[in-house]
Amino acid sequence: MKLKLALMTAFGAFALGSAVSAQTELSLWYHGAGSANAEEALVNELVEEFNASQSDWVVSIETFPQLAYNDSVGAAALAGELPDILDVDGPVMPNWAWANYMQPLGIDEATLEGYLPGTIGRWDGEVYSVGLWDAAVAIMTRRSTLEAYDIRVPTLEEPWTGEEFTQALMTIRDSGDFEYPLDLGMAWTGEWYPYAFSPFLQSFGGDIVDRETYQTAEDVLNGDEAIAFAEWWQMLFEENLVPGTSQDAADRETGLVNGNYAMSWNGNWAALPVVEAFGEDALFLPAPDFGNGPTIGAGSWQFGISATSEHPEGARAFIEFALQDRWFTAFSDGTGLLPPTASAAAETENYAEGGALEVFYDLSDEQALVRPVTPGYIVQARIFESMLADIANGADIFDELDAAVDEISRDIERNSGYGH
């Protein structure tokens, strides 16, 4: 009897050991080390739940500071040390797919039906990445401010025209009640510029690059529409309608709530303090229409599979596990960002019907336009940022636009058209 028991125990231990050792390890790299928000904790929770949910795969997570993340991925790609699962910023994804850092997700696209456009990363006709959240930008202000100056409250159906918007800013400036009528967030640099400001250019009818061919910026970044945009952009600074590039970061954070600015062009991640400060008086308004339709940026961090992953099926299983409304809701409630589906939005604290940020979901759904889907975007974004800052500081707009076009076209040529 004792022998039988011992054999059964040994067999049980062996079977258990085999089950554990049968789990194949998958590595996941995540960009949010030190982010000090709920996102990192939720990603860890997601990984833990996935690991506990099945016996085939075990995901181990490595976190990187965002500042260093893209460089670390680039170096790892060179050395052939990429992980199985990558998280990737939406507009950067085409570059990584083109550079062969990533492979198509290979998931059933029907799964992604109804997702916000900015949460799906497509390149060359295939889905390479998918996000559990997105962000949206709006004009933040107070109803009482607009009423005080007899300014119409715009709606999604009837946003401000470009003239109305500019006139509203001038009316508020002339009142002398505010330091500036509008805060564009010039204190923030980097990706904020193309994310937040290229939609204005697109609404004028221009763009950073010609999306038909992705082979040139000629005519779209220095054509009549782009010139009109650049003149309007420079006018904002010349007419003291917005703070310039030397804006203090602290003013960006608190200027609207403190009453220094009448309006602020900001993202939904910054909306809750505005609701807390102004309550029912808080307004989140759609982007103005400068003639070519109102537009806001889209595309945030997403998950994808590295090109060198030896276990794409495992990586896919993890990503599919993450694509559940309960995770979308958890991330949205934890970080304040937009869930990718309407059904998840309906379950969140902020985006459900009557929620404080409900309007942002509709803004994203109606106005979102992803940044140029091209591997060259990472270079074009830097050129665009530098151009906008120079024009804001008084540079000649024709010189700036032409120089940016030349630089972008040269870069595309140097990279043999970036695979388009």
Q: Which of 38, 76, 307, 395 binds other proteins (CB under 8 A)?
A: 76
Give the whole-angstrom CA distance, residue 202 versus residue 223: 12
248 binds other proteins (CB under 8 A): yes
Q: Which of 25, 56, 62, 413 binds other proteins (CB under 8 A)?
A: 62
The residue (of 144 and 245) whose beta carbon lies closer to other proteins is 245
Cα 164 from chain centroid? 28
75 binds other proteins (CB under 8 A): yes
Please give the structure tokens belonging to residue 413.
């040529």
80 binds other proteins (CB under 8 A): yes
Return the closest-CA partner of residue 331 out of 65, 68, 130, 105. 130
Per CB under 8 A, which region of 57-65, 215-223, 235-243, 287-295 contacts other proteins? 57-65
The residue (of 215 and 254) whose beta carbon lies closer to other proteins is 254
Instruction: From residue 406, give the alpha-carbon distance in Å to each of 7, 220, 323, 403.
Output: 77, 12, 42, 5
246 binds other proteins (CB under 8 A): no
Q: Name the minimum Å distance from CB 231 to other proteins.
A: 28
CA dihedral 185, 187, 190, 192 (to 10 degrees): -10
Cα 224 from chain centroid? 28
81 binds other proteins (CB under 8 A): yes
Per CB under 8 A, which region of 28-36, 201-209, 380-388, 392-400 contacts other proteins? 28-36
The residue (of 47 and 323) whose beta carbon lies closer to other proteins is 47
Instruction: From residue 3, give the alpha-carbon distance in Å to each of 6, 11, 14, 17, 138.
Output: 5, 12, 16, 21, 73
Q: Name the minimum Å distance from CB 64 to other proteins.
A: 7
Q: Which of 26, 28, 29, 241 binds other proteins (CB under 8 A)?
A: 29
Please give the structure tokens belonging to residue 85.
């699962």
232 binds other proteins (CB under 8 A): no
The residue (of 78 and 235) whose beta carbon lies closer to other proteins is 78
Return the closest-CA partner of residue 140 out of 292, 247, 305, 264. 264
Q: What is the DSSP string of 136-162?
A: -EEEEEEHHHHHHTT-----SSSPPBH
**DSSP run (H or E) holding 101:** none
Q: Own/partner pairs for 4-7, CB < 8 Å, 24+ apart?
A: none
Q: Which of 42, 46, 59, 63 binds other proteins (CB under 8 A)?
A: 63
DSSP 289: B
Phi and psi dihedrals of 374, rounded to 5?
-150, 145
41 binds other proteins (CB under 8 A): no
The residue (of 267 and 340) whose beta carbon lies closer to other proteins is 267
192 binds other proteins (CB under 8 A): yes
In degrees, rounded to 5, the angle at the alpha carbon of residue 167 between the alpha carbons of residues 161 and 173 is 140
310 binds other proteins (CB under 8 A): no
Q: Name the minimum Å distance from CB 59 to other proteins.
A: 15
Q: Name the minimum Å distance from CB 298 to other proteins.
A: 15
Binders of other proteins among 325-384, rule CB under 8 A? none
Site residues (vs other proteins, CB under 8 A): 29, 32-36, 62-68, 71-72, 75-76, 78-81, 83, 188, 190-192, 248-250, 253-254
